[in-house]
Chains A and B, each alone.
Chain A
Amino acid sequence: MKAKNIRNFSIIAHIDHGKSTLADRILEMTGAVEKRDMQAQFLDSMDIERERGITIKSQAVRLHYTAKDGETYTLHLIDTPGHVDFGYEVSRSLAACEGALLVVDAVQGVEAQTLANVYLAIDADLTLIPVINKIDLPAADPEEVKREIEEGIGLDAHEAVMASAKSGIGIQDTLEAVVRLIPPPEGDPEAPLRAMVFDSQYDAYRGVIIQVRVFDGTVTKGDKIFFMSGGTEYEVQEIRVRTPKEVVVDNLSVGEVGILVCGIKTVRDVRVGDTITHARRKAAEALQGFKEIQQMVYSGIFPVESTEYQNLRDAIEKLALNDSSFSWEPETSGALGFGFRCGFLGLLHMEVFQERLEREYDVDLITTAPSVIYRVEKVDGTIMELSNPGDLPVSGDIKIIREPFIRCTIPTPSEYIGPVVKLCTERRGVQKDMKYMSPKRVVLEYEMPLAEIIFDFFDKLKTVTRGYASLDYEFLEFRAGDLVKLDILLHSEVVDALSVIVHRDAAYTKGKALVAKLRKVIPRQQFDVAIQAAVGARIISRETVKALRKDVTAKCYGGDISRKRKLLEKQKAGKRRMKQVGAVDVPQEAFLAVLSTDDD
C-alpha cells in the first residue's frame, strides 16, 4: 500500500462530547459496519466502557474511503483512552497518528479533557481538525465554541467541521477534512524496521496481542522481532488488522497499523511505547517517547470475609492480565487481615478497577482510603518510596518527605472563579495561570499536591460550580512537604487501615473531623469504644461511642415468632457487613470516612 494514501488519526474529546458516536458514524459511512450490525459505541467493547461513556483500551480500525478527489484512502482510526489517568497510553496512541479530530460539544464548549488531550496532541505534533458536534441541539452555540477554541486553545477554528454525529450531519465533511488536511505518514520503507507498540491486550486464546504502528521498514509474518527497551525477542506468528472484523494480512509497512500475535504470555512482558525492530537487522535508534509508567494512587483492597481472600486474589490476577498499568502486591493489615496493596494511574483507573472487581467477580471489598506515593529521605541518607501510611518510619528517622505535585487545569464559568480559587487555596494549591477563553469562561491553572485532590476535591469542585467546572491534571514532580502521619486508635489500638498522611497544619482539623465522623458511623457496642486521633504519641482528639446498655426485645410478640425472627435476621445482616477490628465491629464505610469529613 502506498503511504501517500494512508491517513492515521484519532478522535479526542471530553467525556460525552460525542467521540464514540462520531466513530460509529464514520464506521457506518465507510461501510466497515453495516447499519444493522451497529451496536451503539462499537469500539467500546467493555460494558463498563459503554456505561460510563469512556474508553479504557485503545482500538484501531482500518477503513477505506473514496474521497471526492476520486482516490481511495486507507484510514486508520485509532480510538484512544478517554481519560488523562491514561495519559501516557493516550500519548502513545496519538504518537501513532499524524492528525486528530478535536470534537467539542456545541453546547458545553471546551472542557478540561479537551484541553488536556489537545496539549498531548500538540506535543505529538499532530494536525488538529476541530469538529463542533451536536450543532442541532437547541442550545448549541457553535460561534461561541469556535471562539473558545481559538482563544482558549489557540487553534484556527476557521475550517471547523459542523456536525451532529447523532443525526448523521457533517460526517462526510469530517472524512473529507481528514484526507485533505492530515498529512500522509512519512517513513523509509527500506530502512530497518521501527514499529511502536501503542497498546497490548490479553486474549485467552492467543496470549498477548499488541497493536503497533510501523514507522520504517516492513514487518512480515515469521519475522524474528526485538523489543528495544524490553530487550526480548519473539517471532511474529500472525499479523491481523481490524476492519473492525479481524482480517489476517502478510505484512505491515510504513504508516500501517495492525495487530501482532507473537506468543507473549503476559501484558507485563510488553511495554506500551516500546519500539519493535528486526532481531537480525536492528534499528540504530528507538523511536522517541518511551516512558516507564508510574502508578500515582494506591489503595488497600481487602475481602470483607477473610474466607474470600483466594477469590479476591484470583480476580485481581485475572484483571491484571489485561492491565499493564496496574500493580499489586500482598499486604497484611492488623485491622483488615490479608489483602492487597494496589497501584493505579489515577482516580478513575482505581474506580474502574474496583468496580470491575465487584461486578465481574462478585467479591465484596473493603477498600482503604486512597493514598499517593511518598518519597522519604531518611536521616541515614537512604530513600524509600511508600504508599501505605503505615510504612512511614518514625519521625526521628525522617529527613524529608516528598509528595507528588500535579498541574490542574480547571475550566469554569467565570462567575465561579471565587469559590474555585478558595477551594484550591484550601487544598494547598498555587495559582499559575488564569486565562479567559471568552468573557464567560475561564481556565484556571494550579499546582497542587496530588494528595489534596484524591479525596473529595472533584465532588467539591462540582458542588461549588453547580457542576459546570471540569478538572484535569498531570503529574509535575515530587516536592518536599511538612507531612505527618495521623493515626486513628479504636479502643486504644492503632487501626493501621485508618492512618493517613496529612500536612502538619491540617493534622488537628483533620484528626478532629475524622474522629467525629467515626463516632457517627461506628455503632454502639457491648463496651465503651474510645476513638482517638494521634500524631506520634500525642493524642489530638478523642471521642467515645458509649457502650450499648440495653439490646433486648421486651416482648416476644405472642406467637408471632416469624416477625421476631425477621428482626433478628435484619440485625444479623447488618452485623455481617461489619469488619471485626480487635473487639470492635467497624462498618465498611468507616474505612472511607477519611474521604469526606468536612460535610458535617
Chain B
Amino acid sequence: MTAAAMTQPPATWAVYVHFPYCLHRCAYCDFATIAVRDVPREAYLASIVQEFTTRTRDLPAAPIASVFLGGGTPSLWGPRNISDLLEMLHRWGGLLPDAEITLEANPGTLESGDLRAYASAGIRRVSVGIQALDDGRLAALDRIHDAGAARRTLAEIADLLASGRLRSASADLLFGAPGQTMQDLQRDVDAVLGYGLPHLSAYSLTVEAGTPLAGQVARGLRKAPDDDLQSDMLDALPKMTAGHGLHRYEVSNFATEGHQCRHNLTYWTGGRYLALGVGAHGFLPPRQDAAAGVLGHRYGNTRSHAAWSAAVGKGRVCEEIQEDIDAETHVTERLMTGLRLAAGVDLAALRRDVGDQPCEALVLRAERAVRRGRPLELEADWLRLRPEGVRLLDAILTELA
C-alpha cells in the first residue's frame, strides 16, 4: 500500500471564499472581519479574482463539489458579484451539478427578497446567523438584529426550501450565554427548526482571548458562561433536535439525512480545499519543492486587508501561516476533526491517505485509552467517541494525539 495517496491532487475541489466585511463587529467574534459602513463589493471581488488567478496557476483543475462563502457577512456582497464569482469557478474546474454552494447570511443585513436573488445567482444553501430568538439575549450578544428580523428571515428560507429554490439551509444558534436556561434553549431550537430547516449549528458561547467579550469578562462587566450549564446543554441538544428529525453528526452540527454540510465534512475528513480572501485558510497538495514525506500544504492568508490586496494586486499571495504537513501531523489532524464526528475517524481512509504505519501508532494509543475506560469505540476501520464523551472530547484528545 502506498503512503502517497494524499500527495495526488484531489478528484474534486472544495473552495472557500472569505468575505471579511460586517456592518458591525460582535463582541464575541474572533474571525477575520472588518466593520465598515460602505462595503467595497466590486473592489473586493476584483482582488479575489486576482488571487484565484495566482493560486490556480500551478493547480490542476478539477470539478468543484462545494463552495462556501463565509465571513464576515458575505450576504453583503450582492447577487451580481456572487454570480460573477461562481461563473469564474465554473469556468475553471466546473461546478458539479449537485455542488453544495453555501452563503452565510445575517438576518439584520437582509432585505426582503435578497435571499431569493442570491438563490437565483447560484446559491443553493444558506447558513443564517440567528444565534437566539429572544430580543434580550440578542442584545446581550451584541447582535444588530432582533427576533422579528430573525423570524422573517427564517420564514423566507422556509418558502425558498419549499419551492425548491434552495436545496438546503442551516441556522446558527449560540447557547450557554449567562442567563439562558435549558428551557430557553429548547424554545430557540423548537422555534428555528419549526421553520423546517434541515440543518442546525449550535455553538456554546466561548470567551475567546483578545475579543471585547474577553475584556468585559476580565473587568467583571459581564459574567463568564457557566461551564456546567453549557455541558448539560451540550448533552441535551441531540434530544432537542431529534424531535425535528435532526441528528448530531458533529459536536456542534445537527442535520436530517442528506443535509450534512458537505463542505465542512471535507475539512473534517482530510480533504483538500482552495481558500481565497483575507484570512482564509486552505489545504493543498504538496508544493513541488516540498521535502519527502510531506503530504500536503496548509496556508493561511494574512488577516491584514491592506497586505492581502497589495499582494494579490501584484500577482502574489501574502500568507501568515505556511505549513508542510507530514503523515504524523496529519494523523493528529484527522483524529482531532474526526472524533468530533458521530461517524468517527475512518481508519481505512486514513491508512489509504497516509500509509499503514503512522495509523498503527494511533490504533495502539486508542487501544490503551479504551482499556483505561475512556468513552471510545474502536472497530477495525473506525474509531469513534461514544456520545457521552462529547463534552470531554478535548481532554480525551490530549491522551490520544
Residues of A whose CB lies within 8 Å of any CB of B are 526, 548-556, 558-562, 564-565, 568-569, 571-572, 575
Contact = CB atoms under 8 A, between A and B. Distances in A.
B394 A552 contact: yes
B298 A552 contact: no
Given A550-B230, A572-B401, A565 B336 contact: yes
Given A550-B391, A551-B394, A556-B340, 14 more contacts: A548-B395, A550-B230, A551-B391, A553-B393, A555-B203, A558-B70, A559-B273, A559-B275, A559-B280, A562-B281, A568-B336, A569-B401, A575-B398, A575-B399
A552 B336 contact: no
B273 A554 contact: no
A291 B61 CA distance: 86
Contacts of B230: 550
A556 B281 contact: no
B276 to A, nearest CB: 11
B392 A551 contact: yes
Contacts of A575: 398-399
Interface residues of B, number: 43
Specify which of A552, A555, A560, A571 lies most central, judged by the most chain B CB atoms within 10 Å of its CB: A552
Contacts of A555: 203, 206, 252
Contacts of B228: 549-550
A568 B398 CA distance: 7
Contact of A565 (B268, B300, B333): B333
A548 B228 CA distance: 9
A559 B329 contact: no
B395 A559 contact: no
15 contacts: A550-B228, A550-B392, A551-B393, A553-B251, A554-B204, A554-B206, A554-B252, A555-B252, A559-B275, A559-B281, A559-B282, A562-B298, A562-B323, A565-B333, A571-B398
Given A554-B204, A568-B336, A559 B267 contact: yes
A555 B206 CA distance: 9
Interface string B103-121: 0000000000000000000
B21 interface: no
B330 to A, nearest CB: 10
Contacts of B231: 549-550
A553 B332 contact: no
A364 B234 CA distance: 39
B284 to A, nearest CB: 11
Contacts of B227: 549-550
A585 to B, nearest CB: 10
Given A568-B332, A572-B401, A558 B394 contact: no
Contacts of B390: 552
A13 to B, nearest CB: 50
**Interface residues of A, dominant DSSP:** loop
B186 interface: no
A226 to B, nearest CB: 60
Contact of A564 (B204, B336, B395): B336
A561 B203 contact: no
B337 interface: yes
Nearest to A549: B231
Contacts of B205: 554
B283 interface: yes
A490 B235 CA distance: 29
A568 B401 contact: yes
B397 interface: yes
Nearest to B268: A556
Contacts of A569: 401
A549 B280 CA distance: 33
B52 interface: no
Specify which of A556, A569, A571 lies most central, judged by the most chain B CB atoms within 10 Å of its CB: A556
B397 A568 contact: yes
A561 B300 CA distance: 10
Interface string B363-401: 000000000000000000000000000111111011101
B208 to A, nearest CB: 10
Contact of B392 (A548, A558, A562, A564): A548
B333 A561 contact: yes
B386 to A, nearest CB: 14
Interface string B203-226: 111100000000000000000000
B391 A561 contact: no
A562 B392 CA distance: 21
A558 B228 CA distance: 26
Nearest to B275: A559
Given A550-B228, A575-B398, A561 B337 contact: yes
Contacts of A553: 206, 251, 393-394
For the complex of A and B, the 8 pairs showing the least CB-CB separation, nearest first, are A550-B231, A549-B231, A559-B281, A552-B393, A554-B203, A560-B281, A551-B395, A551-B394
A551 B332 CA distance: 18
Nearest to A572: B398
A556 B204 CA distance: 12
Contact of A526 (B70, B392, B397): B392
A565 B329 contact: yes
B392 A565 contact: no
Interface in B29-88: 31, 70
Contact of B16 (A526, A554, A559, A562): A559
A482 to B, nearest CB: 44
B397 to A, nearest CB: 6
Nearest to B230: A550
Contacts of A565: 329, 332-333, 336
A559 B206 CA distance: 18
B349 interface: no
A12 B329 CA distance: 59
B96 interface: no
A560 B337 CA distance: 11
Contacts of B281: 558-562
A61 B2 CA distance: 69
A568 B16 contact: no
A266 to B, nearest CB: 42
B220 to A, nearest CB: 21
Specify which of A555, A559, A562 lies most central, judged by the most chain B CB atoms within 10 Å of its CB: A559
Contacts of B398: 568, 571-572, 575
A558 B69 CA distance: 11
B321 interface: yes
A568 B394 contact: yes
A564 B333 CA distance: 9
Contact of A561 (B31, B206, B267): B267
Contacts of B340: 556
A186 B282 CA distance: 87
Interface string B225-263: 001101100100000000000000001100000000000
Contacts of B234: 550, 552
B395 A526 contact: yes
Nearest to B267: A559
Contacts of A552: 234, 251, 390-394
Contacts of B251: 552-554
A316 B204 CA distance: 51
